[in-house]
Amino acid sequence: MKARIENPAALLPDATKAVSLLYKAAHSAGVPQSTLELVHLRASQINGCSPCVDAGARAAKQRGETDERLFAVAVWQETPYFTDAERAALALAEAATRLADRADAVPDEIWDAAAKHFTEPELAAIVLWIATTNFFNRVNATTRQQAPQNWG
Q: What is the pLDDT of residue 29?
A: 97
Per residue in 60-87, pLDDT (tens digit) is 999 999 999 999 999 999 999 999 999 9
Tell me which H or E stretch contains 42.
Answer: helix 33-47
Task: Give the pLDDT score at 9.
Answer: 84
At residue 1, the pLDDT reads: 79
What pLDDT score was predicted for residue 150? 60
d(CA 16, CA 34): 23
pLDDT less than 70: residues of the chain: 150-152
**CB 63, CB 37: distance < 8 Å:** yes
Q: What is the mean pLDDT of the chain?
A: 94
- What's the rounded Cα separation, in Å, for the pair 53 and 71? 11
Report the alpha-carbon distance of residue 117 to residue 110 in Å, rounded. Answer: 12
